[in-house]
Copies of this chain bind each other. A is one copy, B any other.
Amino acid sequence: MSVAVTIRDVARQAQVSVATVSRALTSPDLVRATTRERVLAVAADLGYQPNLAARGLITGKTGNIGIVVPDLNNPFFTGVLKGVQNQARLASHAVFVADSDEDPAAEEQLVRAMAKQVDGVILCSPGIDEQQVRELAESTTLVLLNRRMRGVPAALMNSGSGLRQVIDHLVALGHHRIAYLNGPRTSWSNKERRRGLRIAVQRHDVDLVDMGPFPPRYEGGLQAADLAMAENVTAIVAYNDIMALGVLARLRDRGVRVPDDVSLTGFDDLMFGALCQPPLTTVAMPVVPAGRLAVDLLLDRLANRDAEVRQDELDTQLIVRATTAPPA
């Protein structure tokens, strides 16, 4: 067990008051160099680690940040978490993580539970409604990730642009009739993608077949594949990679060749999209940078509460692999 060496042990051993020890550690310029060195030496010798909870009690800062994600099994969110974790470490902050299991009620409760122990919370792709998010923002410093809302700082990825790049790519290849397989209608991500879609479609005058919504999973793709083929499209744009993989599997089973008979794109650039056969054309989401950005936004806000609310958007990028080709 921890030997529980406190600031007093250090003070005694170094022959100074606890205040001096505290200062030597947190505001080194306030103590004479020789004293400081002696204190620091003793602290190191004793293996003294300040009790952050006690410190936080008085400073009002915990040095912790929290992150709430819908699902830790989703590589999208663990990518974000990785970025958050990296950047937090650079700023000497520890991170609390909670998984809401896609349950909005849990989401709300988890943020509240964290609030007391952290300086702020990063809320990823929240399923709760705007009103609830605003209430949470009252109880703690909040930064949103992958959702935009007036007045709340947010780390965003421009998925609209990603989808525009997809359509541009398909049109350049010569496609005119394209299916879009919707994800959940209510999700902010799906709305953003459709927005990009609408813009691109207007620009190019292509036939868009707007299908779904489908579950944003492998099974959703299996189901969508046949429906899309019945629409005589030459290209299928799936809501995300996993759905695209389901489409790919179903098409293969039916003997439909990709990309010879039909082109297919995903979204997210999860690792296995590069490893499947044929490798998937998709859009890379900068999830790790987004996690880092969210930490920066949070720390900025903590440092300067009156600054303007930042909502920064990171670029997405089309990754052309082997599931797209000119139509037959």
Given the complex, which residues of B lie within 8 Å of A47, measured CB to CB? 139
Give the residue name and chain of the B residue nearest to A115 (CB): B2
B98 touches A96 (CB 8 A): no
- Out of B52, B82, B245, B277, which one reaches A99, CB within 8 Å? B82
Q: Which residues of B contact A101 (CB under 8 A)?
A: 86
Q: Would you call A284 an interface residue if the criterion is a C-beta within 8 Å of the partner chain's C-beta atoms?
A: no
Interface string of A31-61 (1 = CB under 8 A from B): 0000000000000000101111110110000
Q: Counting CB contacts under 8 A, is A72 at the interface? A: yes
The answer to the question of A218 belonging to the interface, with a C-beta cut-off of 8 Å to chain B, is yes
| Copies per assembly | 2
Is A114 located at the chain interface by the 8 A CB criterion? Answer: yes
Cβ–Cβ < 8 Å partners of A307 in chain B: none
Separation in Å of the A168 CB from the closest CB of chain B? 28
A67 to B139, CA, bound (A): 27
24 contacting pairs across A/B (C-beta < 8 A): A47-B139, A49-B112, A49-B116, A50-B116, A51-B57, A51-B116, A53-B62, A72-B85, A73-B79, A73-B82, A78-B78, A85-B97, A86-B101, A94-B96, A94-B98, A96-B97, A245-B272, A249-B277, A271-B272, A272-B272, A272-B275, A276-B276, A276-B277, A277-B277
